[in-house]
Chains A and B, each alone.
Chain A
Amino acid sequence: MPIQILMPALSPTMSEGTLARWLKNEGDAVKSGDVLAEIETDKATMEFEAADDGVLGKILVAGGTAGVKVNQPIALLLAEGEDKSALAEAPPAAKPAAAAMPPPPAQPAAAPPPAAASSPEGRVFASPLARRLAAESGLALDRVAGSGPHGRIVKADVEAALKAGPQPATQPAARPAAVPALVPQAGPGPFEPAYVEIPNSSMRKIIARRLTEAKQTVPHFYLSIDCDVDALLAVRGDLNARSEVYKLSVNDFVVRAVALALKKVPAANAAWGEEAIRRYTDIDISVAVATPTGLITPIVHHADRKGLAEISNEMKALAAKAKDGKLMPEEYQGGGFTISNLGMYGIRDFAAIINPPQGCILAVGAGEQRPVVRNGALAVATVMTCTLSVDHRVVDGVVGADFLAAFKRLVEDPLAMLL
């Protein structure tokens, strides 16, 4: 029975949107994670991904249609083995809309229109005939080994793949409930140890693509600073003892300190653009959260205008939603600066990969007792090492150092954070 593709809700307030254009045609093979269409809201244009493999059987709402209600069926997807006759069957099984690709961060009013956040995935080389045969039979070409010149997929490869039988089922995209199937491999290569294959979720693929792109194309440099957090810990203990309404973590202080430091050094709250550097006027801080399916960075918007308790409660809610896979796109897309904290795992220091297009990411280590020298004498202090990864195209060394100095002052003098 064909799968109904429904109009996705791209924000909690979205009730309808414009189906800007289809990127797949009827009859095209679609695999989980492929971008099916572009959906426009009043805020942005977003790419809408397929959650399942199949063939786009029928487009129900044409590209360019405005006022499409959320959860209205917009297309029918033929599952493997189904042909067009299945489209006549009624009623098709409904499938919730899949997650959309992250759009670029929110733009200041004067900024140029956002560029598409995604780049096309690795090109599959296949002959036109092989492509057509695969599309007609709903075969995903990236699962076919090519035997043609330079490994190009040719007709014979598609025929062999079809003859070999159905492909292993794939996992729907980025759905936290999904437990990745472990596919035991019958025969590993001659020198390869035995393994199981864990199919990549759409989220995993996005993480892989974005981080690879970042590490390969962004000129990173790293600045580390040690912060004495004894005073911070004392203030935290004091504040936490006063109320049951909040329970502040060290990270909440870090978020607040970063927000205030960015306000002092706005040049560090910026992103690279080919024509212009975007200096964000909002202070939106992305905070990396580990989830069962991968890393996600929910955002504390306007963190500079929020108190510690508000930040703390918001972070808790965002982290819980992230772990349940219930974050709405606007809650994790955008942000101008990222914090990644592995302190709770005892990591002393580390260098994070920049989360493009942002210019900086702060890697926060564990607060631990270390010997320090004060006024020529050895003393014991609780020290937290923070490492700033910087896109040198956006932020120069002195700016990075200024930011870290401002951050350190705030962390070491937590009462200043309360101002």
Chain B
Amino acid sequence: MSFVEKNMPENSFDLVVVGGGPGGYVAAIRAAQLGMKAALVEREHLGGICLNWGCIPTKALLRSGDVLRSMKHAESYGLSAGQVGFDLSKIVARSRAVAGQLQAGVKHLLKKNKVTVFDGHGKLAGGGKVAVEGKGMLAAAHIILATGARARVLPGLEPDGKLVWTYKEALVPDSMPKRLLVIGSGAIGIEFASFFNALGSDVTVVEVMDRVLPVEDEEISALARKSFEKQGMKILTAATVKALKKSGDSVTATVEIGGKTQEIVADRVISAVGIVGNVENLGLEGTKVAVEKTHVVTDQWCRTGEAGVYAIGDLTGPPWLAHKASHEGVLCVEKIAGLKDVHPLDIRKIPGCTYCHPQVASVGLSEAKAKDKGHQVKVGRFPFVANGKAIAMGETEGLIKTVFDAKTGELLGAHMIGAEVTEMIQGYTVAKTLETTEAELMHTIFPHPTLSEMMHEAVLDAYGRAIHY
């Protein structure tokens, strides 16, 4: 398949990607690498929510929180930090600078790869065309929709940007809320709860499910809750916020829990009750692109019902993860290019990370889900408190847990809570992708002294062979 036709009109492309987030820009770069003439249409900012209002700036904030926490514990390391304090505006400024630096980086990468970027809102215009608001019409043999998602709004809990925040306002607070109510204990809610808690806010988390971080393994959820409560958070699970009553500079939330209602007064509320796909104003009307609830329906190669139109990332539904979007972008483009060695995405091999304190990371099936699916399981556990490096670091809180199929030795899932687990989960993800069994993991040599040794021990423990516990 040859892509770059000579004398192609200026506004004709092999591929037009609508949306410049981690799905879209990666797809465009991969297409350019494969010799396609590629364009990217972005209405707001390259890098999308992830880079500008999500993954990256929250990590910057959380880092400030972590450093502050360490400074407060300086004495336990034999250090004196003197007066420990912070300047919220500087923390926020640093976070914005980090996002800004990376945004410039994406712009440079696109330029380097000769991807043409159009600033403006793009939508399907029928017949292989994309209309870019204020810029005119682009013709494309292939169109990838990668418009992402936004915060879900529940009736009665509508954010106003002042007292009731979404992630966006929460990333750029102008003052520290003394009392903060976080609705939703998924990754977004818990990360903000963790950050503001570290800075001294009185944080209450309300979760409709019966546990925090409901997508994680139940044991990990329970350990996380215990840790959050120890740090001073108030956690209400199986609880629903019925109404928010705003008054001047505070909000009174009516929360129903266990058949009773109670009122919680907070200075600010963060609504983190899920996200919905940006399916509106995309020109989907009259096409064969199917929309289910708030996401575009695609097949394993990210194809929509409309020939030549593809969709990737958050727009296509959960899991709402940047790395899922990027991976789909690459496989979608490679399939378009006719590459041979392209493989559909396997949802059980997508790792998930939450950067609260302590961190949480996982890949694959939880113990309960594995059993639900009919697996006989072997479960291994190894606690941070038994690991030399963790003790040396003063990070003895946490657990690594593995779930194996008892019959085949397949690593079904791995679940971690504790320091640096978001960096370690990749070890198990590689293992899952290569389809290793317990045997190869046991044969793998883990360096000493590291936190990763616990990953080895958690495998050994599943087979009754842990050495250090």
Q: Which residue numbers of A lie inside 8 Å of B, CB to CB?
A: 127-130, 132-133, 136, 147-150, 154-155
Contact = CB atoms under 8 A, between A and B. Distances in A.
A129 B341 contact: no
B440 interface: yes
A129 B436 contact: yes
A133 B341 CA distance: 23
A47 B271 CA distance: 71
B1 to A, nearest CB: 19
Contact of A128 (B341, B407, B440): B440
A130 B434 CA distance: 10
Interface of B: 341, 343, 407-410, 434-437, 439-440
Q: Which 5 pairs show the lowest CB-CB distances between chains A and B?
A: A127-B435, A129-B435, A128-B437, A128-B436, A129-B410
Contacts, number: 30
A129 B439 CA distance: 10
Nearest to B342: A149
Contact of A132 (B341, B343, B409, B434): B409
Contacts of B434: 127-128
A127 B436 CA distance: 7
Contacts of B408: 129, 132-133, 136
Contact of B435 (A128, A136, A150): A128
B343 A128 contact: no
Contacts of A132: 408-409, 437
B110 to A, nearest CB: 28
A127 to B, nearest CB: 3
A154 B434 CA distance: 8
A149 B349 CA distance: 15
A150 B434 CA distance: 13
Contacts of A147: 343
A159 to B, nearest CB: 11
Contacts of B439: 128
A129 B343 contact: no
17 contacts: A127-B435, A127-B436, A128-B434, A128-B437, A128-B439, A129-B408, A129-B410, A129-B437, A130-B435, A133-B408, A136-B407, A136-B408, A147-B343, A149-B341, A150-B341, A154-B435, A155-B435
Given A127-B434, A154-B435, 6 more contacts: A127-B436, A132-B409, A132-B437, A136-B408, A147-B343, A149-B341
A132 B439 CA distance: 10
A83 to B, nearest CB: 13
Contacts of B440: 128
Contacts of B410: 129, 155
| Residue picked from A127, A128, A133, most chain B C-beta under 10 Å | A128
A331 B437 CA distance: 46
Nearest to B407: A136
A86 B342 CA distance: 42
A130 B435 CA distance: 8
Contacts of A148: 343
A129 B435 CA distance: 5
Contacts of B437: 128-129, 132
A128 B408 CA distance: 10
Contacts of A149: 341, 343
B228 to A, nearest CB: 36
Contacts of A130: 435
Contacts of B409: 129, 132
Nearest to A150: B341
A96 to B, nearest CB: 35
Nearest to B411: A129
B411 to A, nearest CB: 8
Contacts of A154: 435
Contacts of A128: 434-437, 439-440
Contacts of B341: 149-150
Nearest to A129: B435
Nearest to A133: B408
B299 to A, nearest CB: 17
A136 B437 CA distance: 14
Nearest to A130: B435
A251 to B, nearest CB: 52
A130 B408 CA distance: 9
A127 B343 CA distance: 15
B42 to A, nearest CB: 32
B436 to A, nearest CB: 5
A40 to B, nearest CB: 30
Nearest to B410: A129
A391 to B, nearest CB: 40
A136 B407 CA distance: 10
B379 to A, nearest CB: 18
Contacts of B436: 127-129
Nearest to B409: A132
Contacts of B343: 147-149
Greatest chain A CB density within 10 A among B409, B434, B435, B437 is at B435
A133 B343 CA distance: 21
A4 B178 CA distance: 79
A392 to B, nearest CB: 41
Contacts of A133: 408
A270 B375 CA distance: 61
A133 B408 CA distance: 7
Nearest to B439: A128
B22 to A, nearest CB: 23
